[in-house]
Amino acid sequence: MTLGHSYKAQYDYVELTVEPHAGHWRLTLRDKRHGEDIVHEDEFATAGEAQDAALPLAEHHIKIQHNDTLLMPVRLSWKDYQS
């Protein structure tokens, strides 16, 4: 992992991380309930583009892949952290 400025958000029971990686931004979803770490297939030019893709990824993961009911309102709050 590249050291630098990154972002995290929590959505229901998944954690979303946007971090720089090899000249682009990478979006990762961590699902502790099901023991999964999923890296988004796209590479993003900016952190904002990766953040925009995060909510659809989380919703698809929870609703479609696990057929779970979403308990959280549709909103992400990003927090800065050092990776």
Domain map of the chain by residue range? 5-67
What is the rounded average pLDDT for all residues in the chain?
A: 87
Q: What are the tens digits of pLDDT across the range 30-69? A: 999 999 999 999 999 999 999 999 999 998 998 877 877 7
Residue with tokens 């929870």: 62
Distance CA 48, CA 18 (A): 9
Decide if pLDDT at 2 tops 50: no
Global pTM?
Answer: 0.81
More confident residue, 71 or 43: 43
By CB neighbour count within 10 A (0-12 exposed, 13-18 middle, 19+ buried), where does 47 fall? Answer: middle
